[in-house]
Amino acid sequence: MRFPDEWPYGGPVTSQGALERLRVAHRRSVISLLAATGPMSRADLARGTGLSRTTVSSLVSELVASGHVAETADRGRPHKGGSGRPPVLLRLTTPAGGVAGVDIGHRHVRVAVADRTGVVLAEDLNVLDVDAHGPDTLDLAARMVRSALRVAGLGRQDLQAVGMCVPAPLDRRSARINTAILAGWRDLPPGEELERRLVVPVFADNDANLGALAELHHGAARGASDVIYVKVASGVGSGIVLGGRLHRGATGIAGELGHVQVGEEGQVCRCGNRGCLETLVAAPRLLSLLQPAYDEKLTAERMLELDDSGDAGVRRVLTDAGRTIGRALADLCNSLNPAVVVVGGSAGTSRSLGEGIRGSIDRYAQPHTAAAVRVVPGQLGDHGEVVGAVSLAISRLASV
């Protein structure tokens, strides 16, 4: 008899399969943290992943036995400068071969090839209209991966896995993109299609999730366990990290902050709803508000330059946008109580945008919640998503 995963009137029913999936997820967290930060002690791994020391010790024993992790000859420092015995440090081994990260944005494809500890060996970028040309974009991405492998001195047989970033929600049940946002990708499961072209495992996720993963392990959120990453670019999205792990939700579309309704009578959004947050604050909307007041052609880069120089009009528009985003974030902060909000994307480095977000969180979130959260700009810029894709490939490969 096949029992349900959950009884109608009780707690969850634990099965051997569920326990194994949980252990795989925990192992992946340990691998990702070591790949991101370098050698760490068992105690630091426990603090960084939020797992118990007993669980970490057991996982490390497995990883050492399988050859994924090794103890170093170096010793670390006791936690918080204590006087105890220096702890043994653990590091990832460097298995043969490499991985690739593929970042597909609305207007670009970026590829990085790295060794299996995450050191980037080669990188490439092409600019094109991705939204309307799904098959052509995947063909280009496959060619770029093969070219980057040659530059890195690796053969096709050396490629072990690929992490892939897509600029739209990815349904975990069907592995397909929301085609209301990417019309040219109808009936295309992007991970499966790229896997067919490259003949290696491909693991796909959306851009905000992988931006969150990258900032968590390599950027502004390092050392935090509960993080909200907000990407403000041609759209608005967010990636949520809880207890050191990405929270994707039941179908993989958790964190769609840009489609929170902020006005029932607002303009129609590309998702099909009305009055979504991103119709008010996405970069193209902000540029359209500013352009009539300027003689020069404004771009996102120029808008940020004017913000840095103190231009009154740009600062006003970006501060107002930040307040609008912050109002939606305040509710999310009340629910999740994060330690850090990281603002990324093409507009993420704007001081005015960050100040507006900070102001609304202070005003609308619970006082203790607002006091606990830092609002910081992302540190990885345009490379955040491809770094996250590389990290995804490494962690998934290590857990297989």
| pLDDT tens figures, 242-269 | 988 889 888 888 988 989 998 888 888 8
Higher pLDDT, 145 or 117: 145
The encoded tokens of residue 32 equal: 């990702």
**Residue 205 is inside which H or E element, if any?**
strand 202-206
Which residues are CB-contacts of 76 (< 8 A; sequence separation ≥ 6)?
39, 40, 41, 44, 86, 87, 88, 89
Which residues are CB-contacts of 67 (< 8 A; sequence separation ≥ 6)?
93, 95
Environment class of residue 340 by beta-carbon count within 10 Å: exposed (0-12), middle (13-18) or buried (19+)?
buried
For residue 230, the cross-strand partners are 238, 343
Q: What does pLDDT average to over the chain?
A: 87
d(CA 182, CA 178): 7
> CB–CB of 116/160 below 8 Å?
yes
Task: Give residue 362's pLDDT.
Answer: 98
**Residue 108 is inside which H or E element, if any?**
strand 108-115
Average pLDDT over residues 184-189: 84
pLDDT bucket at 285, cuts 50 / 70 / 90: very high
d(CA 338, CA 192): 34
Contacts 24+ apart (CB under 8 A), 122-127: 122/148, 122/149, 122/151, 122/152, 123/148, 123/386, 124/148, 124/151
Average pLDDT over residues 129-158: 94
pTM of the shown model: 0.78
DSSP 338-357: -SEEEEESTTTT-HHHHHHH
pLDDT tens readout for residues 13-22? 445 567 777 8
Which residues are CB-contacts of 126 (< 8 A; sequence separation ≥ 6)?
108, 109, 110, 140, 144
Residue 336 pLDDT > 90: yes
pLDDT bucket at 48, cuts 50 / 70 / 90: confident
d(CA 51, CA 49): 5
d(CA 76, CA 60): 17
The encoded tokens of residue 103 equal: 């970042």
In this structure, how many other beta carbons lie within 10 angstroms of the beta carbon of residue 187? 10
Structural domain spans, the chain: 16-92, 98-210+384-399, 220-379
Task: Give residue 262's pLDDT.
Answer: 87
In this structure, how many other beta carbons lie within 10 angstroms of the beta carbon of residue 74? 10
CATH class of 16-92: mainly alpha
> CB–CB of 108/127 below 8 Å?
yes
Q: Whose CA is closest to 391, among 205, 242, 247?
A: 205
CATH class of 98-210+384-399: alpha beta
**Superfamily holding 220-379:** ATPase, nucleotide binding domain (3.30.420.40)
Assess whether the region 16-92 and the region 98-210+384-399 belong to the same CATH fold.
no
In this prediction, what percent of the chain has a pLDDT beyond 90?
A: 55
d(CA 53, CA 188): 43
Task: Give residue 361's pLDDT.
Answer: 98
Average pLDDT over residues 132-148: 95
Place of tokens 């902020």: 262
d(CA 127, CA 146): 18
pLDDT bucket at 116, cuts 50 / 70 / 90: confident
pLDDT bucket at 192, cuts 50 / 70 / 90: very high
Task: Give residue 210's pLDDT.
Answer: 94
Place of tokens 């252990």: 23
Residue 133 pLDDT > 50: yes
Residue type, 235: G
Least confident among 86-90, 143-147, 181-185, 247-251:
181-185
Q: Whose CA is closest to 99, among 110, 115, 111?
A: 115
Q: Whose CA is closest to 344, among 238, 251, 270?
A: 238
Residue 172 pLDDT > 90: no
> CB–CB of 276/261 below 8 Å?
yes
d(CA 131, CA 105): 9
Residue 68 pLDDT > 70: yes
Task: Give residue 188's pLDDT.
Answer: 85
In this structure, how many other beta carbons lie within 10 angstroms of the beta carbon of residue 366? 12
Instruction: Bin 97: left if φ > 0, else alpha if -120 < ψ < 50, else beta.
Output: left
For residue 5, the cross-strand partners are none
Task: Give residue 119's pLDDT.
Answer: 86
